[in-house]
Amino acid sequence: MNSRHALRSLISGVLLTSAVSAFAEGTFDIPAGAHFNRQKLEKIGEFFRNEVATGKIPGAILLIQQHGKPVYHEFFGVRDVATKAPMTDDTIFRLFSMTKPITSVAAMMLLDEHKLKLDDPVAIYIPSFATAKVGVEKKAENGEKALELVPLKRRLTLQDLMTQTAGITYGFYGDNMVRKAYADARIYDGNFTNAEFAERIARLPLAEQPGTLWDYGHATDILGRVIEVASGGKSLLQVEKEKLLDPLGMTSTSFYVTDPAKQQLIAKPTAKDSDFRVGFESSPDEPMKWESGGGGMVTTMADFARFSQMLLNGGELDGKRYLSPRAFELMSSDHIGPGSGVERDYFYFPGDGFGFGLGFGVRTDPGNAKPPPPGSLGELKWDGASGCYFVIDRKQDMFFVLLEQTPSERQRIQKAVKQLIYEAMEN
């Protein structure tokens, strides 16, 4: 218990901008100025304790922070059902696609330094993309489908990568011929670098013309390689540590966990929930050369809360500015709405009421549901295959971060937790 109190004191003194008393287990404090109802917040604990007790998840951590102070900061269950080790703020979680906002912030920092421009062609940094083609399904006279490769109508740009409109897809869901080509290309074989992975992707057809459809895929992995090239050949992790992670104090955020002592801190899903459904198997304690800017990072609550507070502050934390006001505005504005020419299909993961900025979803309207889902216009959000999820609500000066490892239960849990959080908020 003493170590738990120490960790909570650490997140109060180091993570946050003002000191807050340590939390006792199973309790939470609502600081002055926060607009939450204590009794309603207690329903969140009831929800998670039931999830753990019924074996749906091993455990989770939830942090709600408003006006720079923690409103709710609770630990549930264990990080590993085999060892029964408890959840702590230094428990390490795999982020999967919640890596994308970190990579995107790093790219925007290079834009601030005039090392990148959103309208730069990708081929400036990765020449193989100069010959990219779009795969178009055609039906032959005998009724069989064939993939015809057609030229791009315009150049593939960095903005296409950041808005997921590059036509660079994933091959582990959907059934069109380009997705099947990705699945058949064995792009994850061996121990490859970001440069080698980019070449593998460049040899595959785009799923559609750039800027025409929001199509979730490896675009942010390619952006990671662009960052390396624009930074003189440094690795993606080197760039991110130098510019973002180390200055923010995100000392446990990386692509792999190489320290044997820290490997014991890795949160694990239940045995029946160990398939993350991302097309390949990997382990954070088995380092590869690949540093996946689209899905490869690990983090802790102590780390990701600082990243979230920086975004809530519009790109600044503890007196240091990471993103210029203009860069933050670009990131947090919808780039695929009406007039953009970008279509949406069944696989539009931001969901009803959300557009997409440069690296995460942006809420643009209440949506079609009656009543509409909770949240504020302008909300920023993203999540990953492991169930990790964060929301930045600048209207309420509030963010929350949920860290868990449950690919099968994540969507249900995320929806329920967000509803409980906003029901506990007092206007």
* Helix H or strand E segment including 160: helix 158-162
Domain ranges of the chain: 115-230
The dihedral of CA 98, 103, 109, 111: what is its sign? Answer: negative
Q: How far from chain centre, in Å, is Cα 376?
A: 20
Distance CA 283, CA 274 (A): 11
Express each pLDDT in 309-365 by its tens digit: 999 999 999 999 999 999 999 999 999 999 999 999 999 999 999 999 999 999 999
pTM here is 0.93
Distance CA 122, CA 105 (A): 18
Q: Is 152 exposed, middle or buried (0-12, 13-18, 19+ CB in 10 A)?
A: middle
Q: What is the band of 10 on the pLDDT scale with cuts at 50, 70, 90?
A: very low
Distance CA 298, CA 386 (A): 11
Amino acid identity of residue 382, one-letter, is: W
Residue 58: how many CB atoms within 10 A of its CB?
26
Distance CA 105, CA 67 (A): 22
Strand 298-299 to strand 380-383: parallel, antiparallel, or no bridges (unpaired)?
unpaired
Express each pLDDT in 376-404 by its tens digit: 999 999 999 999 999 999 999 999 999 99
| 361, β-bridge pairs | 356, 381
Q: What is the DSSP string of 13-42?
A: IIISSS--PPPPTT-----TT--B-HHHHH
Distance CA 144, CA 218 (A): 29
Query: Could you tell me what percent of the chain has a pLDDT over 90?
Result: 85
Express each pLDDT in 78-134 by its tens digit: 999 999 999 999 999 999 999 999 999 999 999 999 999 999 999 999 999 999 999
Q: Are 377 and 364 in contact (CB under 8 A)?
A: yes
